[in-house]
Amino acid sequence: MTALLLTAFAAGGCYEDKGSYFTGMWSQIEAIEGVSLPGTENLYTLDLIEEQPLTIDPVVRFKPGVDASDFSFHWVMGGDTIASGLKLDWVVERTNKMFFNSNQETDFWLAIDNVSSGESWCYYLQNSTGTILKVKIVQAITPKIGVFVYEQPDGTVEWGSVKGSNPATPEAFTSLYTGIFERYNAPKTIEGSVCGVTYTSSDLIIYTDRSPACGAVIQTSETGSYPLGYLQGTVGDLIFDGEPEAVINGQSFYPGFMQELLVGTSLFIYSAQSSYQMILHGAEPTESGVAQIMGATPYMNLMHFSVLRRTSGEICYYRYNENQGYLCQPLPEEDGSTLSADRIVGVCRQPSSSEKALKLFVAVMKGTSCQLYTYTYEQSSGVKDMITFVSKRDISAWAGGMTGDCRMFTNSVEMPLNYLYIAKGADLWRTSYESQADPQIIRSFAEPITVVEVVSSSPQQPSGATELYTALFTYDQTAGTSKMYVLDATSDNAEILSEVETEIPGKVVAYRAN
């Protein structure tokens, strides 16, 4: 295949193709051969897959008497020089310097410079009819499995995805893609500490405490005009129409039920019909005087609820239903008064597909004491749900001494053994939420645990769901890197199904699965 040869009399070093080139005869080169790829003879667009190698090894035959050392060669894609030298050995990667048209196509050529005369030539790929091939970079990093968000040592926030196509084979999760935001949006960055993450098949929304941006709304699908990873806008602009009136202190999204934002001490509840809610300046909060929120873990789309702590210390149960609206009621103490505490530590629900009375578990800190409260609750169509105190247990000595930064959770579906887990420090502990006997360590790690997420096959259809895996992340503060483990937490010793090889360059603070 012969490629099209275009020339321009201009200084070398800038290879943006702006249509200023003209065809002409190359007086010092006899021929250029091998600038072609098999299978492109009938194509008009060449698809290059990210992370795949691309090799082109041309031969330049100069005319007699020509000094070959006068020539330099560069490969240019979308205006960005991707390699220097005549032979191209390149791993396909879209860079922030490349420009693409509305169809996400760009140009690709070999730039030939005569360093003595200043002449610059472009040598394009073309098909068998002489038409220049347009190039598309096809993404291979669609988050089929899930996404993780991490804070980097420089104070910025990034995200990555788990490589794979089948969430039911967690033993195959062996590598990750990291740094996706920078790849498509540099020099823009996400700054601040993460205070909430929503992930749907089309959007990743990262909420931070840094105004005015307060995070980012990122496209995570391959459909539409923009690539996966593209910044659609800031949280400040798209959600608050500028910036929030106070610092974001919490955020959650429960598909099929509700989404919530705690801005300062104002709690805003909204339906889950869209991936984010609009909160304009002066908007009336659903609940005022709220210090902390925590949803039942893990989330399942059946009888979901959350728990809040007021600035007064009162602990309340609440939920949202599009037909009934917002419902909030105090959790009772043993004597019938309202439960009060300094901090909510954990909120779990009995992992049952039943819509009858279930057990809910709320762990709270009161000073240095940690108490585990057990209730039964049944959601009703009236203005109140039925919540009944069952028991409380002092668990201050659990897991080597309970603190407010541990992570408590149950399985996502019913198990023969009713497990309650505690991730604290570098250890994963387990007991039964029925017996509430002292927990035992079932797995220890080299570094402290930062995130644990239980993933089921269909969280929005819990009656037919199965538990697929538990994703667990640890953080090495000295190295500034995180590591991902994939567990079968239901096995006797929490078997590690895969230990992901890729090092994450920061502290993972959230994991979300499809």
pLDDT tens, position by position, 342-386:
999 999 999 887 767 889 999 999 999 999 999 999 888 777 889
Q: Do 357 and 380 contact (CB within 8 A), yes or no?
A: no
Cα 467 to Cα 465: distance, rounded to the nearest angstrom: 7
Cα 260 to Cα 268: distance, rounded to the nearest angstrom: 6
Ranges of beta strands (E only) in 220-357 are 231-234, 248-254, 258-263, 266-271, 290-295, 306-310, 315-321, 325-330, 343-349
Confidence (pLDDT) at 417: 83
pLDDT tens digit string along 156-190? 999 999 987 788 899 988 889 899 998 888 889 99
Cα 207 to Cα 215: distance, rounded to the nearest angstrom: 5
Confidence (pLDDT) at 392: 96
pLDDT tens digit string along 9-62? 332 333 444 333 334 456 788 888 887 788 888 888 989 988 889 999 989 888
Average pLDDT, the chain: 88
Residue 8's pLDDT band (cuts 50, 70, 90): very low
What are the helix (H) ranges across 234-298?
A: 235-240
Residue pointed to by tokens 């995805």: 161
Phi and psi at residue 179, to the nearest 5°: 65, 35
Cα 248 to Cα 262: distance, rounded to the nearest angstrom: 6
pTM here? Answer: 0.81
Sign of torsion, CA 95 98 103 108?
negative
Cα 94 to Cα 326: distance, rounded to the nearest angstrom: 46
Q: Quick one: tokens of 433?
A: 């939420």
3 state SS of 182: helix
pLDDT tens digit string along 229-278? 889 999 999 999 999 999 999 999 998 889 999 999 999 999 888 888 88
3 state SS of 482: strand
Asked if the model's pLDDT at residue 509 lies above 90, the reply is yes
